[in-house]
Homo-oligomer: A and B are copies of this chain.
Amino acid sequence: MAAPVPHVAIVGAGFGGLRAAQALRQAPVRVTLVDRRNYHLFQPLLYQVATAGLGPEDIAHPVRAIFRRQQNFEFRLAEVTGLDLARRTLRTTTGELGFDFLILAPGGTSSFFGLDTVEANGLPLKDIEDAVAIRNQVLRMFETGVQEPDPDRRRAMLTFVVVGGGPTGVECAGALSELIRLVLTKDFRGLNVKDVRVILLEASDRLLAAMPAKLGEATAEILWSKHVEVRFGASVSRFDGARVSLQGGEVIPARTLVWAAGVQASSLVAGLGERGPQGRVRVEETLELPGHPCVYVIGDAAWLPDADGTPLPMMAPVAEQQARCAAANIVRSVRGEPQRPFRYRNRGTMATIGRNAAVAHVGGFAFAGFFAWVAWLVLHIVLLIGFRNRLVVLINWAYDYFLYDRAVRLIHAREIHTGPAEARRPAREASAAGAG
């Protein structure tokens, strides 16, 4: 009789979890992917949902549709509530799930560095609901701002502070300024554009720290030309919903603060071993958890120092390359072959700063401007999952580009409740979840 087929459980349907499951397509294993969402989210375009350029449906794709043809694949919509590595069992909101191999790809969550007032009143940007909340807030501030007679209160409503000079903060600030200056000024005829401010706060003295310094400088210049006030050495200490307080005493009256400054590993990996920067858990070079040879951690939750000691960035390409490595190591394990260490190949990084402008660092070359922007567009269209999503995003982008418009300026006025009976339990509980 043949040995039973080994069971691989994968937690998280982000870039890492998705690629791991795909890489095991032909492997002699059964795969179960667990996530609290039924869709894969294309996070690099999340800021476009926040700034009304795309709808939530354009950048998400149902997991089941992606794996329709993969025979050894199963999906379970559930939240992982605990791990029992000794018993090789996951505890989930829909019961236990045993495994022979485990790939943990739970991703990261926003980190507020203990700034409780910012966590309470600021808007993070990590998932679809965050993005829609930002879109709602920006559009509502314009609707109430035009009706506000007091000039100081009105200016505070029309001041938008983005915190964090990484890719998310830069892209969000650029897109926000364009939304306002190219679109909303046409919609709100009574509006004085001089009342509007978009401010990007960065604690260090450079933007896009992962890129060469000259691209950070170019980015600041482009943002400035788009009327984004770029402020360096600016650390937020407090935000009460009406005023942003900086260390050093400066106070900026603003009703909106978008938090793009911190990410930390999912709490799912909290008790699993040595923790590194951003709460990531230390993994072996083979991506296994030390002492647990069949448990792999990949992506934002994993801490693997580079050759020069710096942790790998929290980016989709790292997660995807680690996914392929972990999947290959599982196959080697099944076959009784030795594991191989992970090596990251940096194929380049890019960020877009709005219409006609982006920066890219590819193969040792650093370039900024229109050509980088076109490359960014093409790459992101190609990487989107699903032909329909690509087509619809392409139409939306072309439309916005030529008509200086934005697609989806809808304010969801009422909270979206999720259904009757059990579905009306408190949301975090009712939602079943793997990725953090």
* Chain A residues proximal to chain B, CB less than 8 Å: 36-39, 55-58, 60, 62, 64-65, 68, 74, 76-78, 94-95, 120-123, 127-129, 132-134, 136-137, 139-140, 143-144, 147, 186-188, 190, 241-242, 255-257, 388, 391-392, 395-396, 399, 405, 407-423, 427-428, 430-433
Decide: A56 and B388 in contact? CB cutoff 8 A: no
With known contacts A123-B419, A418-B412, A431-B414, A396–B407 Cβ distance under 8 A: no
Of B414, B423, B428, the residue contacting A140 (CB under 8 A) is B423
Contacts of A62 in B (CB 8 A): 187, 409-410
Given A57-B57, A137-B420, A241-B421, 16 additional A-B pairs, CB 8 A: A37-B413, A39-B409, A55-B56, A55-B58, A56-B412, A60-B410, A65-B187, A94-B144, A120-B420, A122-B420, A129-B412, A137-B418, A242-B421, A395-B395, A412-B416, A416-B416
Query: In the complex the two chains form, is A432's CB within 8 Å of B409's CB?
Result: no
How far apart are A418's CB and chain B's nearest CB, in angstroms? 5
Question: Given the complex of chains A and B, what is the CA–CA distance between A427 and B56 in angstroms?
Answer: 21
Q: Are A416 and B121 in contact (CB under 8 A)?
A: no
A399–B390 CA distance with the chains assembled, in angstroms: 13
Report the Cα distance A74→B140, complex, angstroms. Answer: 16
Q: Do A411 and B37 touch across chains, with their CB atoms under 8 A apart? A: yes
Residue picked from A140, A405, A420, A421, most chain B C-beta under 10 Å: A420
A121 engages B420 (CB within 8 Å): yes
A399 CA to B37 CA in the complex, in Å? 24
Given that A38-B143, A56-B410, A395-B391 are contacting pairs, would A419 and B136 also be in contact in the complex, using a CB cutoff of 8 Å? yes
CB-based contact A417/B415 at 8 Å: yes
Query: How far in angstroms is the closest Cβ of chain B from A430?
Result: 8
In the bound complex, do residue B423 and residue A136 qualify as a contact, i.e. CB atoms below 8 Å apart? Answer: yes
A405–B64 Cα distance when bound, in Å, is: 12
Cβ–Cβ < 8 Å partners of A129 in chain B: 412, 414-417
**In the assembled complex, how far is the CB of residue A387 from the closest CB belonging to chain B, in whole angstroms?**
8
Cβ of A65: which chain B residues have Cβ within 8 Å of it?
Answer: 187, 405, 409
Whether the pair A417, B133 counts as a contact (CB closer than 8 A) is: yes
Taken together as a complex, chains A and B put the C-alpha atoms of A435 and B50 apart, in Å, by: 26
Known: A68-B187, A187-B64, A388-B396. A137 touches B415 (CB 8 A): no
Q: Complex Cα distance A15/B87, Å? A: 61
